[in-house]
Amino acid sequence: MSVSRWAARQAGQDPNITAEELTETANRLLHRQFITRGDPGGASHFDRVVGNLDYFKDLFASFGFRFIFNDAWGYVGYVSPVAFNNTRVPTQETIVLLCLRLLYSEGAEKGYFIDSTAQILVEEEEIQTVFSSMGGGRVLKPGELRAILTTFKRRGLVMFDQSHSLQVSADVTIRPTITEVVDEPFLARLEAWGEQTSAATRNVEEFDENDSDEESEDGPAEPTEKPVP
């Protein structure tokens, strides 16, 4: 494992840590995005961050990321401060991310936390219902949703049993890390996008209705040009 000069310098200040261990934790974070203290093997990485917090903040800032440290709920991770600034039409993954955030917010407002944690339990069917309401009635195939959730699980945003059949609606635990990825400004931007899309859809429907009424009164118009063969 190659180590950076930063890691070697930091390890030189603390006899209880090695440059290899710092590099291992940094690589784990880059791969996972979020590490929770309660994850298998997560406690050792979390403790390394606690003991070298300034180092990890500076390291990830050099990559252009904002480092996240939440001691209350026991997780660390990073987000890009400009990741969604240029969002136009959300992809399926982005819409599912927003669905999870909305479900988390609704559950949190009602106090539906799991065993005094900051985690919220939902079912895949609930995610599908929210996705359908945002996606114009379209529903993801079970395999599509499960693949997206698997990606989010690796990033430390959700937990679920991957052994479930695709024909069975799995229980999905949404972690509080979702609030770091989909923060309030991002949520507001997407909600505004949704309102604009709904307004545009209504305008098109009203135009079609008016156009249909005019045609029924005047009859179909004769083509002024011959169709192109």
pLDDT at 228: 30
CATH of the structural domain 92-184, one choice from 3.10.105.10, 2.130.10.10, 1.10.10.2260, 3.40.50.720:
1.10.10.2260
Residues 6+ apart with CB under 8 A from 90: 98, 190, 193
Beta strands in 124-170 (DSSP E): 158-159
pLDDT at 128: 93
Give yes or no for residue 171 having a pLDDT over 60: yes
pLDDT band at 135, cuts 50/70/90? low
User: Please, are residues 160 and 150 in contact by the beta-carbon 8 Å criterion?
Assistant: no
173: three-class secondary structure by DSSP: strand
User: Please, are residues 172 and 122 in contact by the beta-carbon 8 Å criterion?
Assistant: yes
pLDDT at 194: 58
Q: Distances from the Cα of 102 to the Cαs of 53, 96, 175, 192, 197, in angstroms?
A: 31, 10, 13, 14, 18
pLDDT band at 163, cuts 50/70/90? confident
More confident residue, 206 or 65: 65
pLDDT at 188: 67
pTM of the full structure: 0.75
Residue ranges of the domains in the chain? 7-79, 92-184
Q: Is the dihedral of CA 63, 66, 69, 70 positive or negative?
A: negative
